[in-house]
Structure 1
Amino acid sequence: MLRLVRDRRLPIVGGCGGVWSFIHVDDVASATAAAVTPGPSGLYNIVDDEPAAVAEWLPELARIVGARPPLRVPAWVARPMIGVFGVTWMTASRGSSNEKAKALLEWSPRYSSWREGFRSGLGVPATSGGTRKSGGTEHSV
């Protein structure tokens, strides 16, 4: 996905209505540990606390990795390339809630926001200034 973002090949599709939920791999591990301990069994959404619209998280991810902002593409243009499912995912998906996992597993994500998770997962300092190196190339962040 990062290669697509860097190459400006992951556009914002249609009316920008899709909302995604994210989770940091460290939070997946802690939620898994909480789920295998004695307690209520069931299905849980293991996501951060902040579902985000594609129109919000995709430009921020591009900024973090030093890429130009994503293009905007009408849904009818994207449909032949990514199909009906892809267009729906980008335009109409709804984020998930982690409230059940937080309440019943007594778990909460270390990275409560996708912003923190993106920066941590990509090795970018929490401050918005500065640069970082990736593959020998310096990126402004």
Structure 2
Amino acid sequence: MRVFVTGATGALGRHLVPGLIAAGHQVTATTRTPGKVARLREAGAEPVVVDGLDRDAVIAAARAAAPEVIVHQMTALASMRSLRKVDQVFAATNELRTRGTDNLLAAAAQAGTRRVVAQGHNFVYARSGGPLKTEEDPIDSRPIPSSARTVAAIKYVDRIVPLTAPEGIVLRYGTFYGPGASDQLVDGVRKRQLPVIGGGTGIWSFIEITDAAAATLAAVERGAPGVYNVVDDDPAPVAEAAVPGQGRGREAAAAPARLARAAARRGVRGGPDDRGARVLESEGKEGARLGAAVRELAGGIPCLGQRMRRARPSIGRCCSPSPTE
């Protein structure tokens, strides 16, 4: 298929584009940075330099590519170093998730593209009830004030993509980690910039970055329209990742070691290309799949994430996080 990937040089895009090429798809890949064009061409994609907020340019690029699928992975988080002021840090990304999404949906309509697969996040569930959430659980109507605009932007993608695109799919990823995706987390730990509430007992759901790319590839190729949780099956307390505020200097610099020790207690090992930890699910890498209940999305691709309930094909489970827990 002809696939138009935006944000193709980001944390997920850099794994998704080679996966799409290997699967035999014809990929047009966008970047805002001319210096990254060669990297996309070497991966086998047709590169296009375009700003996702330039509506006319986005529409023109999509019409020229005539894609059968558009993948929205645009963010602006490469320089993120702290989560103390979430809305401030995510301001540009929020624009890409609102205006940028509108631009891509308009481009899809003009290019005749039916399927749009967009990046979502699981930081949208109400902080009430049990810790495991399905896509049908309530959405948080009163997010933490410092993250209100960010949550609103994520919720906008959740709503507008399935509503507008004939085959609109939103993937509510867990927090990324793995090759090229953990540096910011580790740097935040080192600099004591990752906020932890109380004893750090808040639970986050994670997804290894290459698994997230595999799930996205599955959604490109198949799956009913709607919203899906895409997380691994080992949610973790924030305290296992970092304890900022405890120690300075040498002790703060040892934070990644604390991360590694905590990971080891949970059967986690470090990846060869990653300064963080790579979770290997308790059933083993090949045993962790999206599950028979959503076979039409997963297509048997290994290690896609959380096992799903069998009652409803559209339901997955993840933990109920908040950006500062």
Q: TM-score range by the shorter chain?
A: 0.3 to 0.5
Question: Higher relative contact order by CA 8 Å / sep ≥ 6: 1 or 2?
Answer: 1
TM-score scaled by length of structure 2: 0.21
TM-score scaled by length of structure 1: 0.43
Choose 1 or 2 for highest CA Rg: 2
Point out the structure with the larger strand share. Answer: 2
